Structure formats: structure tokens, C-alpha cells
């Protein structure tokens, strides 16, 4: 009897959790003007208050090209060593995560205010064994500051509790809301501690000589160009080399044009100075001649005065 009673209490508690979580998920989205996009209780982009003013206000709103964000985020990689001591290069964000981040960060940041961040939750999958994969979540905080897109990782490869979900959400409706961390300017997350591979335009935040692996500062245009150049080099080394030579040739041609223009300017300045010197000398000589003519009484004082005025007017 006691066992049956305990089971009933457990079932009632689970039922209450189902109701509570479902209501929470619905209330989180309904009539919420801060929502940029929603897929489910754990799949969304949302405006949030700037978590700290320690580093100054954000530079919002800002217009960023979605395609450039895709290329820049795709460039983020790190090197992982597996149990067999074999190294492999791993993308920080999956293909689908990059697309969602690019679309809704560009859309959200174009309307964000300086005191707003964007927080997000995106689903994903992580290889568990050779063939098995477990469902995960990626969360974070994004904003634009110092002409760079800043992304702080909150949760990385956060594993879903599928046993918990099976009880509370047997229909897999996605209405079970988890309690996530979205990353912080003032507190380093230990959920992402990888050093990303070097690429132009991307750095991990340095604070007083200490690296924040969870905080990316991304110059979108430079990182996108670096990614495309690297991709072209990998796909077509000869084409990349030819392009590099063309870029270098164009750079040298531009430098030659600038040098010729500078030399022409210098010649013009020298000619101008010579003309000015010559003109000044000519006027001086004319005045000397005029003085001698007056001294020898070859011209009158009135003629001298008139002529002198004419010479001075030529200066």
C-alpha cells in the first residue's frame, strides 16, 4: 500500500512538472516583444538587457551582411585530440548553427539598442561514440562593440536529459524549458575552453593578459575574407596562387602609380618655387632700373611714381 501511495505521489509530482514546464514555455514566448525568433522552448533568439556596462555601451543598431557572418563563423575552428591521440580540426559551430546565428544576429542587431544584447539557444548533435550522437544545446550572448561582433559562449554541447524529457514530454513536443547560462562579460564560462586556430579577424578576448576562450571578438569582413582565401587555397592551390600573384601585381602597380603621382607633384612644386623666385628677382631688377633712371633724371618724379606702382601691382 505504501509503495502504491509513493508511486501516486511521484506521478502527481511529475504531472505538476509537466504543467509547470509547459506553462513556462508558453509564457516565455507569448506576447514577448523581445523575441527575435522562436522554434521551441529551447530554440530561440531573444533581446536581453546588457549584462554589464563595464566595457561600455554596445554599438547598436548595426547593419551586418548575413553572408559575411556565415563565412566568418565558419572560419572558427579548433584542434581536438581523441582517445587514440589523433588530432582533428573541429568547427566551433555546426552548419545549421552557423546559418541560424547569421540570419538572426544580422536581423536582431539591425534593430537592437545600445543597452541590449542578444541571447540565444540552438539545438545540435554531438558524436558520443563512433556512430551514436546525442542531442545537445548551444547557448550564448552576442553584441557589437569596437567594430566587432562579440559572441560569448554560455553552454557548449550541453547534453539534453532525454530520460527527463521522456517522462515530462513523452510526445517530444519540445516544450520542456531548461535553465541555461548565456555567458557573461564579467565571468568566464568553463563550458568552452578550447583555443581556436589562428585566423585573421578573430581573437579570443584578452583581459589583463588572460585569455577568455569563451569570448570571441570577430571582425566580420576580415574574417570572411580570410576564410574565403583559405577555402580557395584548399580547393584550388594554383588558382589561389594566381590570384595572390594578381593581388600582388595590382598592389605594385598601385604603388608605382602613387609614386609617379608623388614625383609629378614634387616637380610641380619645384617649378612653382623657381617661378616665384624668378618673378621676385625680375621685379627687384625692374625696381633697381627704375631707381637709376630717376637718379639720372631720365624720367620725372611723376613717371617714376606711376611706373613703380605698376611694378608693385605685378607682385
Decide: 135 and 123 in contact? Cβ < 8 Å: yes
Same domain? For 277 and 230 the reply is no
Same domain? For 127 and 166 the reply is yes
Same domain? For 172 and 262 the reply is no
Same domain? For 57 and 78 the reply is yes
Same domain? For 259 and 229 the reply is no
Cα(119)–Cα(152) distance, integer angstroms: 9
Q: Which of 217, 235, 253 is the last residue of a domain?
A: 235
| pLDDT in the model for residue 58 | 97
Q: Which of 235, 265, 288 is the last residue of a domain?
A: 235
Same domain? For 266 and 219 the reply is no
Same domain? For 210 and 264 the reply is no
The total of structural domains in the chain comes to 2
Cα(188)–Cα(214) distance, integer angstroms: 7
- Residue 153 has phi, psi (to 5 degrees) of -80, 130
| pLDDT in the model for residue 135 | 87
Same domain? For 257 and 125 the reply is no
- Residue 16 has phi, psi (to 5 degrees) of -60, -40
Cα(116)–Cα(122) distance, integer angstroms: 20
Domain encompassing residue 269 = 241-313
**Coil, strand or helix at 202:** strand
Q: Which of 187, 205, 235 is the last residue of a domain?
A: 235
Same domain? For 119 and 140 the reply is yes
Same domain? For 136 and 283 the reply is no
- The pTM for the full model equals 0.67
User: And the C-alpha cell for 131?
Assistant: 556512430
Same domain? For 148 and 262 the reply is no
**DSSP secondary structure of 107-168:** HHHTT--TTEEEEEEEEEEEE-SSS-EEEEEEEEEEEEETTEEEEEES-SSEE--HHHHHHH
Mean pLDDT per 10-residue section of the chain, whose length is 315 residues: 44 44 40 86 95 95 97 96 88 96 98 97 74 84 97 94 80 79 96 95 95 97 92 73 66 79 79 62 78 83 85 73
Same domain? For 178 and 288 the reply is no
Amino acid at each position: 500500500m505504501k509503495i502504491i501511495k509513493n508511486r501516486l505521489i511521484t506521478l502527481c509530482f511529475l504531472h505538476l512538472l509537466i504543467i509547470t514546464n509547459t506553462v513556462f514555455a508558453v509564457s516565455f514566448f507569448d506576447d514577448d516583444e523581445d523575441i527575435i525568433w522562436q522554434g521551441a522552448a529551447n530554440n530561440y533568439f531573444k533581446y536581453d538587457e546588457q549584462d554589464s556596462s563595464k566595457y561600455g555601451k554596445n554599438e547598436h543598431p548595426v547593419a551586418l551582411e548575413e553572408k559575411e557572418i556565415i563565412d566568418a563563423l565558419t572560419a572558427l575552428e579548433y584542434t581536438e585530440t581523441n582517445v587514440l591521440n589523433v588530432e582533428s580540426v573541429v568547427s566551433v559551430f555546426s552548419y545549421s548553427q552557423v546559418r541560424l546565428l547569421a540570419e538572426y544576429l544580422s536581423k536582431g542587431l539591425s534593430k537592437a539598442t545600445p543597452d541590449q544584447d542578444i541571447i540565444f539557444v540552438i539545438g545540435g548533435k554531438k558524436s558520443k561514440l563512433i556512430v551514436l550522437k546525442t542531442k545537445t544545446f548551444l547557448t550564448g550572448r552576442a553584441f557589437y562593440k569596437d567594430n566587432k561582433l562579440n559572441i560569448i559562449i554560455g553552454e557548449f554541447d550541453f547534453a539534453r536529459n532525454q530520460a527527463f524529457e521522456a517522462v515530462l514530454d513523452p510526445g517530444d513536443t519540445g516544450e520542456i524549458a531548461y535553465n541555461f547560462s548565456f555567458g557573461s562579460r564579467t565571468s568566464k564560462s568553463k563550458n568552452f575552453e578550447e583555443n581556436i586556430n589562428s585566423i585573421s579577424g578573430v581573437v579570443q578576448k584578452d583581459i589583463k593578459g588572460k585569455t577568455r576562450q569563451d569570448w570571441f571578438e570577430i571582425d566580420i569582413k576580415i574574417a570572411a575574407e580570410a576564410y574565403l582565401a583559405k577555402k580557395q587555397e584548399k580547393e584550388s592551390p594554383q588558382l589561389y596562387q594566381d590570384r595572390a600573384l594578381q593581388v600582388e601585381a595590382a598592389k605594385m602597380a598601385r604603388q608605382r602609380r602613387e609614386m609617379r603621382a608623388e614625383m609629378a607633384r614634387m616637380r610641380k612644386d619645384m617649378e612653382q618655387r623657381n617661378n616665384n623666385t624668378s618673378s621676385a628677382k625680375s621685379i627687384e631688377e625692374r625696381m633697381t632700373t627704375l631707381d637709376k633712371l630717376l637718379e639720372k633724371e631720365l624720367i620725372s618724379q611723376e613717371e617714376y611714381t606711376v611706373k613703380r606702382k605698376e611694378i608693385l601691382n605685378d607682385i
